[in-house]
Structure 1
Amino acid sequence: MRKMIMGTMAATLALGMFAGVLSAAPLKYDVTQRALEIVVDGKKVPFTDARPIMDSSSRTLVPLRVVSENLGAKVKWDGKNKQAEIKKGTVTIKMKVNDSTAYINGEPKTFDSQMVMMGERTMVPLRFVSEALGTEVEFDKGAYFVYVKTPAFNESAVKLDEYGREIRTTNLPKNYKDFPYILKDVANEMYEVPFYIDEWSKERFASPAELSKSPHIIRVNVDGWKKKIEEYYGLVLNADYTSIDYDWAKNVRSYKNMLGGVESITSYVDWVRKNKIKVEGSLVAEPSIVYDDGTDYRMRTKFKFRIVSFDKYQNILYDSSFHLEKNANGPLPVYKKNVWYEGYADIALSSNNNGARYTPNLMLDNPSLFLKNAFIKPNKN
């Protein structure tokens, strides 16, 4: 599908300390886009609700709270004038919703994006605000990370992985030896999910620590696998009966190593329309957790989704195991409308071409968020 949608975002700003205003500005962005990650001074920013997006002009927009919580700025909201005041040190930025002119210490500055309302969140252009506050911003297209570095950050004082994220050596998971390193911003829960091991090929199993020593476990390959997984689930976790079409099915098919054509996927598209299914969600693949289950490579992912609407509780997600009642990790939920669920799944990668595992060309093999060792629970936040 990869459709650009035009939404009229009119909502009350709900950032805890702020009163709300209404906005009716169009925001063009792709709802099925790959999940974008923000890394500030070596730490990945957690997003419990609204995620950063990239608009149709390739500008990154983030929730306003990211500025206050992660860049150390103070933020005030002026509901009458629909204006945010962002202050840090001697720098004061004033921005209005849907206005491409901001004021930095009273001086007008035109920029190529806008502060907008999206649902119940105010979204601000990350690069403009960050650079105005004296921080550096860099986009890593391969990993799909945006790096923000503040002047106070001393890289030599911490150990970073090749993706610029801080490594920790304390409060380690019980199975820490199975991994090449442990990230400070990744919970032990994610590491301690048991690996899936193919019982028929278990002698060939290789943990992430073991596999990371292989010469072909390099960024160009891992980033390629990560990209396919995240783009696939950008589609699957954002099925919407009001906009889904057969191009969606063709795109989903393009990521899978499967027999047959697109017919089984187009039948799901028809079902989404008929059953008025709408799902929202995102998935992020962790490039440092890649292992060999004995048959396929697998990359660990963290996902969240909610089911917004349906008429009949049947085949809500494009996943043949959606109705599974339990897996190797125990019972699975019955999914309720408008409840966020989160979890971890190890997505298998394979190819029918010899040598593909030494390249970025592996495809998703029977991907599922519910099978094998997948772990899922309601989000308590």
Structure 2
Amino acid sequence: MKKIKAVAAAMMVLCSSTVFAQEPIRVVIDGTTVVFDQQPMVIEDRTMVPLRGIFEAMGADVDWVAENKTILARKANDIVMLQVGSKTLYRNDTAIPMDVSPVIRGDRVLIPARAVAEAFGAEVLWKAEERTVQVTTSASATFGEYSVTTKTVTLEEKDDNGVTVLTAEYDYPQLSNPYGSSAISQLNAMLEKEAQEQSENFTKQYLESAKKDAQKQGSDFTPYQSLKKIDVTYMKHDVVSVVGALQNQIGGKVIPEYRDAAVYDMKTAKRLEVSDLVRDSESQWKKGVKEALLAMIEQKPNQFYSNVRKKADDAMEKVEFYLVDKGIVFYWNLGIIAPEEKGIFSFLVEMKWDDLNY
């Protein structure tokens, strides 16, 4: 009898130590861990979090109506309403059933993380082995353990009459940094600085011309505009590839799209060249790309400059590239191998990561 009691007591101690040894639940939104003033907890198999912490982390304004214990959260054009004790969530005028209702614990109201995140259009993933709720908002994308959030630099200039004469809107990516990497922090800072500087340079270059055109054209004036969106096209094996598409409207004329791209080592923030990634020597891979270019010209000769075959070697000095899941995309920007109105020419060299030399 004593032995059975001893075993039972040992089991109770073991179970207790197992419970208390568990890591606290983390909530990660777009790669950033949310710090709550009260730890999230599991109630009825659902992760419950303090209401204000999660809503504000998602960029929503939140109000607590004490009289009827109601939570109101607003983000853009959406309003989400919950009530303590009710398993119904309202998104605008739509009722959405929940598995568990909001509860009060201590002096905090806890709400179901998945239900409220999904109500604002986010994707939610529960990583049981890490005890982590991963939330990805509609403004971000995921690449394995990393996520990418889009940030925006916006500039607007007006003339002395208050008329908008110039705008610039540059979207740029910010990589999540779950391990506190200094290289990723450096990349994020660089991408932000580049977007800021490019938008400011556009303003400096064209503001005076825009003001003069506005004065001359009056109600017929179209504001000068610069739009750029930088996307992540590949992020695996500690390598990230970004591509920016720039579209300007100047003096009422839409300028054909310009593209720039870069590939970086996520461990060092070093910018990588083709020769860093492929096993071929520089002369070998350039020979292969040149052959592909000549074949492309052969198929549609009227699309290119008439002398492009003779200047193919010069064109190889201006070829740019970026990575996608299927391989390497090589491209030439406007006016290099064809008239600007023909656009950007590109082609894909299919490769697997194992084929690369990095």
TM-score interval for Structure 1 and Structure 2 normalised by the shorter chain: 0.3 to 0.5
- Identify, as 1 or 2, the structure richer in strand: 2
**Rg: which structure is higher?**
2
TM-score, scaled to structure 2: 0.36
TM-score, scaled to structure 1: 0.34
